[in-house]
Amino acid sequence: MAHDLLFEDLIQQVIRRIGQVTGTSVQVYSEDLIGDMIQHKFDVMFEDVWWNQFMYWLDATLDGTTGVVTVDVSALTTGSPPVAIPLVRFEDIHSIFPENSDRPLPRFPDFVNPDNVTGTTPRYIEAVGDAQKIFRILPLTADEPIKIHYRSMPDHFVTGETVNFDSQALVLGSAYDYLEDDGTNPGATEKMSNMFESRVRQLKKSRAWLPHKLDPRVDDAVPDEWWAR
């Protein structure tokens, strides 16, 4: 991944890509516009892939009566000094596991009566409208610990902030958006689009170089016994 850059440095790189010269008019109009384009491009790519640098694990306990976790997931932090890593949307949950289990909980089906799901073992996950909880576990009386794998979107970028994402993808994508809106050079627009798409493909491919376990429920041990029919 290309090195991370300050937000203002990304803006200047986009300006160089589209052939502008920094000046008063650029400072007043184009730099703000390009900053918005960088933010938009990041937001779109954030949704497209579960990028590793925005993924987190959370160990949580359930209240045992309403199916929600006891922690405020909108106020999660990490590190010292603390950095905000909130869970703000149900769509940002990658998976939830019961304690000591490799099987993620499925979504609660629409055609099942929740009152008929009983017991203390987590079985399903369902979205709720509480911004501090986001989801609940069924049965509502489940009281076993759970482990949540989720992503957290950073706040909108500001001057002086290092953007923790591939700088080439953001620069090429934003330059393409700018040229497409401008519409005066279709050839350059198409070239920038191709360069951006190529970079995104590289990033996605680079995430897959480590081996993946096909079924986490299957033992990794090499078998030493065979049976013949």
Percentage of residues in the chain having pLDDT higher than 70: 85
Q: For the chain, what is the HEC assignment?
A: CCCCEEHHHHHHHHHHHCCCCCCHHHHHHHHHHHHHHHHHHHHHHHHHCCCHHHEEEEEECECCCCCCECCCHHHCEECCCCEECCCCCHHHEEEEEECCCCCCCCECCCCCCHHHCCCCCCCEEEECCCCCCCEEEECCCCCCCEEEEEECCCCCCCCCCEECCCHHHHHHHHHHHHHHHHCCCHHHHHHHHHHHHHHHHHHHHHCCCCCCCCCCCCCCCCCCCCCCC
pTM confidence score: 0.86
Q: Answer whether residue 109 shows pLDDT above 60.
A: yes
The pLDDT tens digits for 139-197 are 999 999 999 999 999 999 999 999 999 999 999 999 999 988 888 888 888 999 999 99
The pLDDT tens digits for 164-178 are 999 999 999 999 999
